[in-house]
Chains A and B, each alone.
Chain A
Amino acid sequence: MKLIPIPEDKYDEYRITLMFDCYKWDPQFLDNNTIAKYALVITKEEHKELERLTEHLDKETQEAEVFLNKNPKLAIPLALTKKVSNELKRMNNYDSDKHIRLMRYDFHPTVEGKWAVSEVNSDVPGGFAEGSLMPKEAKALLGESKYWYRCFGDILVNAIKKKVIKSGRIMLVHCTSYSDDRQVMQFLGDRLKQEGFRIIYGAADHLRFKDNKAFCILDDNEGEVNAIIRFTPLEWLVDIKPKKWQGYFDTNTVSCNHPIAIYAQTKRFPLVWDVLEKNGINMSTWRELLPETLEVKDAKGKEGYIYKPAYGRVGEKISIKEACKEDEYKQIMSEVKRHPKKYLAQKKFISKPLVGTDGEKFHVCLGSYAVDGVHAGYYARISRSPRIDSNAADIPVLIEGEEE
């Protein structure tokens, strides 16, 4: 795995191309440019290993969530919110064949020369365009014949085509006030339009449910929809008032993702692995890759643990001391103390940084997608800090050698 610089004289145009042709609408975060000046190149062997690990993780995760769905009492250690827990029984009609299961597993190279996985983005993984169009642009700049990439968008669209009727109406559910969400949905919407689908951009409360089917109530776009692609996190969705969200849990309308995703979305997911294994669910790949995870109380007095929020996003509120700014660490620790069930303790791994052209070191988070159990490409970010958060830069992932 290495960093290959984007030619300096081409970078400005590359950045503008990503904004205008590749749906990268958030190129700046505070004082940080969020478009890396490098491409991340992985070897064929690394790709093969990541592909295998991703598919194994995905199999284990899907088996675990189906089991927990049938045995919701065993999910108590996940400490799901009361609102979500109350609706779990609605999911007893869940049929994985009807829906599209999309997840992204975040891998990190470690100083031991191994991979560590920090989490699975089980509910609403992002980075769609970055995992589809960004590598295409980088490949054109760095050498068409030397590298290839696995296009996430093509794989997701093919999965949708398999399960949604031709020319069907697809609702792209997102927080309509956030352009960062819209850029993800707009990429997918434009891509699906090319395939003949009719696309509706709307918010979670623009859907109503009747007889387990989803209906759009958005102005001038009313009527049944044939698929829901949701980018509004489930834990936000349940806070929508008035309460119109329960139908998501038992709908037969094709969903990506179905709320079944909540079991693995909480970072407390590892706290039920012992129970899962006792019931014959294999979690060995997860055990191999995810650092040891404990209840906050069980990590008391132990060295080398960090605290993570159960529903944290993009690295926020993770207590990596050297990555925290000003009094952030103190604030996180105070919150952990007050709400231990909303956090978990995890053994810290030491990320092995890659070195850029001028000797600068970058930590890597390599997200590896799976769609319906099959590896579906990459979305990566690099950061000067070991905590990969919103200050990190998006980087295209290319694979060495000839395309498979």
Chain B
Amino acid sequence: MAGKEAYKIWAPAGKKWVDWVRPVPFVAINEYSKGYTLSSVAANRGVFLEATYEDAAIIVDLPGEQSVAAGIVLAKLGYRPIPIYNGTIEQQGARATVDNQSVGVALLLGAGELKSINLDDDAMPAFLLDSNRLHRYKMDASIFDNSWDVYPQDMPSAEYMLDNGVHRVVVVSEEFSKDLKKILYVYQKKNIEIFLTDGYEVPKKITIRKLFCKDKD
């Protein structure tokens, strides 16, 4: 399956929320150098969500292909997975801070599964992020830094969320990442409630504190 074909499965034309699907990993698939072969995108954790979360958007912030797998699990629960991975691939031959290629391969494989899942036109979104994106430690200067951040412009505004029935955001992750916190804080200011779950526990409501200057990148 080519990147464009896979993209069209993850972002079917005319469906709600799909305009935010980032083309970056799909576009780069033909340039991949690592030759990964995944046989499936099996989730190694469930995503515990009761039916009462029907007014919630989900943000999955798990490592690499695990987040793609969680997206497929959520699709089976009726959410529309929206991959917003935005990391580029490294210069050929160079070591890189983040492995962005495994996510692309998982998306290709996931497209095969997603194709067979019937989603409602107005399904609520599950935004997918790779929590490895913030690995930017370079043990020496010669390494290619392809870490990346998620920015407010990569996601719908709080107003759009509210207008489209989102009153809660559930983050599936071990913890809130610094970049995501900035986005969540703005949502919270507009009265969207924020929850956190590691995928096993019942989501807990969290109040995001305003970031101090020293917390900022």
The answer to whether A and B interact is yes
* Residues of A near any B CB (own CB < 8 A): 12, 16, 19-20, 24-25, 27-31, 33, 176-179, 182, 200-203, 205-206, 217-222, 390
Number of A-B contacts (CB under 8 A): 87
- Contacting chain A: which of B12-20, B54-62, B66-74? B12-20
Say if the beta carbon of B130 comes within 8 Å of chain A.
no
- Additional A-B contacts beyond A218-B94, A219-B95 (17; CB < 8 A): A16-B7, A19-B7, A25-B22, A27-B23, A28-B19, A28-B20, A30-B157, A30-B160, A31-B156, A177-B136, A179-B22, A206-B144, A218-B91, A219-B142, A219-B143, A221-B91, A221-B92
Q: Which 8 A-B pairs have the closest CB atoms?
A: A220-B93, A219-B94, A19-B23, A219-B142, A12-B13, A182-B88, A201-B91, A20-B4
* Residues of B near any A CB (own CB < 8 A): 3-4, 7-8, 13-14, 19-20, 22-24, 26-27, 86-88, 91-95, 136, 141-149, 152-153, 155-157, 159-160
Q: A20-B7, A29-B153 given as contacts; is B141 within 8 A of A217 (CB)?
A: yes
Chain B residues positioned under 8 Å from A28 (CB to CB): 19-20
Q: How far is the CB of B108 from chain A (nearest CB, A)?
A: 14
A30:B153 contact, CB within 8 angstroms: yes
Assembled-state Cα–Cα distance A178/B147 (Å): 9
A200 contact from B8, B14, B91, B146, Cβ within 8 A: B91
Q: How far is the CB of B140 from chain A (nearest CB, A)?
A: 8
Q: How far is the CB of A92 from chain B (nearest CB, A)?
A: 29
Main secondary structure of the interface of B (DSSP, over half): loop
Assembled-state Cα–Cα distance A25/B139 (Å): 30
A220:B94 contact, CB within 8 angstroms: yes
Q: A28-B19, A176-B88, A219-B93 given as contacts; is B145 within 8 A of A203 (CB)?
A: yes
B23:A30 contact, CB within 8 angstroms: no
B146 contact from A27, A30, A176, Cβ within 8 A: A176
Assembled-state Cα–Cα distance A228/B182 (Å): 35
Q: How far is the CB of B178 from chain A (nearest CB, A)?
A: 14
Q: How far is the CB of A20 from chain B (nearest CB, A)?
A: 5
B145:A177 contact, CB within 8 angstroms: yes
Chain A residues positioned under 8 Å from B156 (CB to CB): 30-31
Chain A residues positioned under 8 Å from B23 (CB to CB): 19-20, 24-25, 27
A177:B3 contact, CB within 8 angstroms: no
Chain B residues positioned under 8 Å from A182 (CB to CB): 88
Q: How far is the CB of B84 from chain A (nearest CB, A)?
A: 10
Assembled-state Cα–Cα distance A207/B41 (Å): 39
Pairs A–B under 8 Å by Cβ, sample size 25: A16-B8, A19-B27, A20-B3, A27-B19, A27-B23, A29-B153, A30-B155, A31-B159, A179-B24, A179-B86, A179-B88, A182-B88, A201-B91, A203-B144, A205-B141, A206-B141, A206-B142, A217-B141, A218-B91, A219-B91, A219-B142, A219-B143, A220-B92, A220-B93, A390-B153
B152 contact from A30, A205, A220, A222, Cβ within 8 A: A30
Shortest Cβ distance from A13 into B: residue: B13
B4:A12 contact, CB within 8 angstroms: no
B157:A31 contact, CB within 8 angstroms: yes
Chain B residues positioned under 8 Å from A177 (CB to CB): 136, 145-149
A218 contact from B4, B136, B144, B153, Cβ within 8 A: B144
Shortest Cβ distance from A28 into B: residue: B19
Q: How far is the CB of A192 from chain B (nearest CB, A)?
A: 14
Chain A residues positioned under 8 Å from B26 (CB to CB): 20
Assembled-state Cα–Cα distance A31/B153 (Å): 8
